[in-house]
Structure 1
Amino acid sequence: MGKRKRDAVDDHRPSPINGSAKEQKTSAQRIDASANNHITIQIVVGSYERVLHGITAEVPQFAVALTDKDSDECITFSDTFLFHAHTSAIRCLALSPPTSSKDTSAQNQRVLLATGSSDERINLYHLSASPPPRNNKAPPIPSLTSNAVTEDPKNRELGSLIHHSGPVTALHFPTRSKLLSSAEDSTIAIVRSRDWTVLSTIKAPIPKAQGRPSGDTAPPGCVPAGVNDFAVHPSMKLMLSVGKGEKCMRLWNLVIGKKAGVLNFGREILQGVGEGKWGSGEGRKVVWNQSGDEFVVGFERGAVVFGLDSKPRGRILPSPPTKIHQLRYLSTSKAPENPRSNKVELSNVLAVSTEDGRVIFYTTTPCEASGLGIDSSEAGIPNCRLLGQLGGRSTGLGGRIKDFDILEVSYGDLRSGNPEFITVTGSSDGAVRLWRIKVHDILYSLKANGSPASENQSSSMRVGSENTDATKPSSPSPRQIGTLAGVYETGNRITCLRAFVMVGHADSGGNGGNGGEHPEEEMNYESNNSSDGSDDS
């Protein structure tokens, strides 16, 4: 019996043209994995009931291209953790970037979770960045509900921070190595995540009492004080903050930890966003865009977009008038391969969640042409062009959306290179909804000659007035630019929400690492000295 001739078999193999056979095999495996597998989204929600709820949503790749009915049947939700994290309502959440060390595998990557509450405490947790391994042999975890339960032993609690003396209002991880927190004690603390040491405390001035605004719940003899929100510039050198009882925003220099300036909100700005005579006029939210060339300040019923020169570029005023709860810019990880798709256009798209159950999308790009349906308001600030919306009473969803997050789906459109987005919304009725947004729908609205739903074109509505005609739609309803992909009922009144796309696959086991910290990019300000900005008015 003769030996088998391997050379004869190898002669029939096609020779690689654009690269080696090993590279082609790796590329083919990557395409097959992208075509056959799914993504897993980790969702974390806080509620008035002090409950911290972790949910994973498995979204198959083909579910992104199917109809709503098919997508709802394909998406699988499961509980990863559910417990009382605080002694009072949870007000804010923050997620850190995952570990980026080269020697850390996908199964060993960790994400830091920080939760802030009215009990003046900040709780810290380690979350696994990879889906929990599937163990079909293990008995199911008993539960009183029909929801699937999948525990991950790599999720663990780290401890609590008690450096604030007031309810925590905002949390943010600019990098994995730093955590910034603000509270109603008018302080912004910078904490190092390596040993959880408070490096510095920035003190915002307490505003002077200038009358009692409507809805003020401060006790007698006290004035509303505290930091409502803050935003760190992408360069990690500047920070903006807005506070209670202040009709201004403050700029802080993070290099030296000192105040850099104060921008007062003029009458035309406040009137342009519906802040009347008896309104507080304070900023509720502040957000930088991805490139750092503009920022938006959110008020109770509107928002104003500013440039780097601190001059207003445009205003956002939903119609019919409603309260605003959250603001977020669309962000993409890389520029699309298709030259027709512009990353700059997507980075200037702002999403706004409202009291009446909508997520409205606007473009903040300045438009000089008068034929785009943008009329100047009476205050002289142009209106941002409306692109579309998600949800709303027209779709049967009227509950207020307290918080939402926008995630870029990695598999997206492989041919054109355009990503797709999944928007995760949390409502006060306890529902977590996943919406699918195609990029070409947003680009179509951006390149349209006219506003697809010119809600700001209503000339019959005057800002700050109580005209009953303002509630009547003077133009067609905004077009829906997304489709509902899945709904999960938590049973709690949601106050805050954060989400991220998990790496790896659920079928890949692994014991996980020790969750140790890795050196990350450090912020410039490392001093232990506290800065005080109370010398300005």
Structure 2
Amino acid sequence: MAKDTAVAVTGKRKRDDALSKRNGAKKPATGPAVNGQKKKSTAARPDARIGPVKQKNAGKASKPITAVTKEPYDDGHLYVQIVAGSYERVLHGFSASIPRHLLQTTPDTSEPAATDDVTFSDTFLFAAHASSVRCLAVSPPTESDKRFLATGSSDERINVYSVSTAPPKANGKPSLPSLAANVVVENPRNRSLGSLTHHDRAITRLDFPAKGKLFSAAEDNTIAISRTRDWTMLSSIKAPIPKAQGRPSGDTAGPGETPAGVHDFAIHPSQKLMLSVGRGERSLRLWNLMTGKKAGVLNFDRSLLTQAGEGKFGSGEGRRVLWNAAGDAYVVGFERGAAVFGLDSKPKAVIRPSPPTKLHQSRVLKLGSHEVFATSTEDGRILFFDLDFPESETGAEQLPSCTCVAQLGGKAAEISGRIKDFEILRVGAESSVTLLVVTASSDGAVRLWSMPDTLNAVESAAADAGEQVKSVPSPPVQVGRLIGTLETGSRITCLGAFIMDGKVSGDAANGDDDIATGADENSEESD
């Protein structure tokens, strides 16, 4: 019986070997026949998922599959993430792809640059708050692949988001359809982290002085300090309620209440001191961040307010306050002007736009070897004032005026709508730095400008050491050129922007959107 079984198995093996040889001699089929036609192999399609390797490819080395063969930010374009808040409760995020040759500024700015080369892609668009978005802030750059975005609104809430720093993938999934002309590019790394309810009034100011702290101010006269690691409020600074001095027209305080709230605050570069200005009071407050207590109060003199543009019917309230880079001077902005103070809290100079107009957002930056105060105006300009001013004579009541050395936009660029907010980004290496200016107007237009890092007007003014301020000031130099415009269709109130310098990795075939990080997303950040 065992012998018969062995013979049967041997015969079966011979039949199988003969069948394998007969099938191997034929040309391999490309697939099963459907309606008399052969189906194409899925292996020929590059977008198909790849299964087990066949025997005919066993001797060949498998080619790795990557999402991007070349990093997007090295393909001759600069990618910038822009976020805008509006009165319509909408938080609009979009990325701008800027060819780097447009950032090569030339002295001749009479010819407008082509605006068709800059492309915009919508990243997110949704109703973030129950009321208008009043302010937002973006955390400083770190080794991580993300940044924090905080938005404040009149609904007393602070929404916190995690925004990816990776540019849109060049060969990713097809763009989603939209009614607008912009391409819709989603990033799964952009996500909401929740809401903070530290305040019981409208949020007026947000700031990330460091990667681990968030400062927030509101109309309840409170400045809260939160930790970004777990979003816990570490401390709260309470400013006193100002005394009632009449009810100005257009005031939004409730019946029987006094106008109150923190307009703005500025943290010293050492992060040990803080300045704040508020509603209903003509003063500046100094805070000690080491103890969380008030360190002093500076009342604005009537003569100073008059020179700074606050007339008889002006409120005299400080609207903006900023430190310079060295921390040895600060600027207090009013409705139609500003004043420069030293560490001794004495006014050194005033800033007045010409022709007179309202001021909105302000920044302090370096242009060449000079420090410049940049401010946006009601008539669609960004004015640059040189903060290197001559010292006033002892006992002189008239303060010197800072010279306006350059302007961007305005009637010369056919822009008349007010610029509500703007951001200035430095692009390039130390040898060749270009400034990218992102402006947001109340009519819903977001414009991108390219301008040099050094101003010829500033350098020429520095050469005139004998006469620092001319008796008849010359008109400011028109700088910058328009390289891109996006119509958002919303009344923009605040703006934030940063350069997207993250790295993309993953499997494009599987649709992965992983980002190569320098630090884990869930890692704890230092205090």
TM-score between both structures, scaled by the size of structure 1: 0.77
CA gap 1:506/1:488 in 2 versus in 1, 3 angstroms? farther
Give the equivalent residue in structure 1 for 2:425.
407
SS in 2 for 1:240: strand
Q: Which runs of 5+ in 2 are unaligned?
A: 1-70, 508-512
Query: Which residue, out of 392, 398, 407, partners 1:380?
Result: 398
Q: Is the 8 A contact 1:99 1:518 kept in 2?
A: no
Q: Which runs of 5+ in 1 are unaligned?
A: 1-31, 333-340, 371-375, 459-474, 523-537
- State the AA in 2 paired with 1:151: E
Give the equivalent residue in structure 2 for 1:361.
384
Give the superposition deviation at 1:123: 0.1
Query: Which residue, out of 272, 276, 279, partners 2:314?
Result: 279
Deviations 1:93-115 (A, max 9, x none): 10111333xxx5xxxx1100000
Query: Which residue, out of 59, 78, 83, partners 1:39?
Result: 78
CA gap 1:34/1:246 in 2 versus in 1, 3 angstroms? same
Give the equivalent residue in structure 2 for 1:149.
184
Stretch moving more, 359-368 or 32-41: 32-41
Deviations 1:290-333 (A, max 9, x none): 2212111110111111111111121111111111001101158x
Query: Which residue, out of 503, 516, 522, partners 2:522?
Result: 516
1:121 aligns with 2:121: no
Matches within 5 A, 1:132-531: 132-136=168-172, 138-331=173-366, 342=369, 345=370, 348-368=371-391, 380-411=398-429, 417-441=431-455, 443-444=458-459, 446-447=461-462, 449=464, 477-504=475-502, 511-512=514-515, 515-520=521-526, 522=527
SS in 2 for 1:92: strand
Give the superposition deviation at 1:71: 4.7
Deviations 1:358-383 (A, max 9, x none): 0000111122599xxxxx9x951110
CA gap 1:515/1:253 in 2 versus in 1, 3 angstroms? same
Q: Number of matched residues? A: 444
Q: Is the 8 A contact 1:271 1:379 kept in 2?
A: no
**In structure 1, what is the Cα distance between the partners aligned to 2:182 and 2:220?**
40
CA gap 1:277/1:69 in 2 versus in 1, 3 angstroms? closer
**In structure 2, what is the Cα distance between the partners aligned to 1:368 and 1:402?**
32
**In structure 1, what is the Cα distance between the partners aligned to 2:233 and 2:491?**
32
Structure with max Cα Rg? 2
Matches within 5 A, 1:105-116: 109-116=145-152
CA gap 1:114/1:171 in 2 versus in 1, 3 angstroms? same
SS in 2 for 1:270: helix
SS in 2 for 1:440: coil
Give the superposition deviation at 1:238: 0.4
Q: Is the 8 A contact 1:98 1:129 kept in 2?
A: no
Stretch moving more, 162-171 or 221-230: 221-230
Give the superposition deviation at 1:33: 10
SS in 2 for 1:94: strand
Give the superposition deviation at 1:428: 0.3
- State the AA in 1 paired with 2:447: R
Identity of paired residues, percent? 54
**In structure 2, what is the Cα distance between the partners aligned to 1:33 and 1:151?**
16
Give the superposition deviation at 1:36: 5.7
- State the AA in 1 paired with 2:437: T
Give the superposition deviation at 1:70: 4.7
Give the superposition deviation at 1:505: 5.9
Give the equivalent residue in structure 2 for 1:61.
100
Give the equivalent residue in structure 1 for 2:125.
82
- State the AA in 2 paired with 1:516: N
Give the superposition deviation at 1:204: 0.3
TM-score between both structures, scaled by the size of structure 2: 0.79
- State the AA in 2 paired with 1:54: G
CA gap 1:477/1:331 in 2 versus in 1, 3 angstroms? closer
Stretch moving more, 475-484 or 280-289: 475-484
- State the AA in 2 paired with 1:324: L
SS in 2 for 1:72: coil
CA gap 1:504/1:216 in 2 versus in 1, 3 angstroms? closer
- State the AA in 1 paired with 2:134: R
**In structure 2, what is the Cα distance between the partners aligned to 1:499 and 1:150?**
17
CA RMSD, 1 decimal: 2.9
CA gap 1:516/1:131 in 2 versus in 1, 3 angstroms? same
SS in 2 for 1:74: coil
- State the AA in 2 paired with 1:39: L
Q: Is the 8 A contact 1:246 1:281 kept in 2?
A: yes
- State the AA in 1 paired with 2:440: G
Q: Is the 8 A contact 2:350 2:401 kept in 1?
A: yes
Give the equivalent residue in structure 2 for 1:130.
166
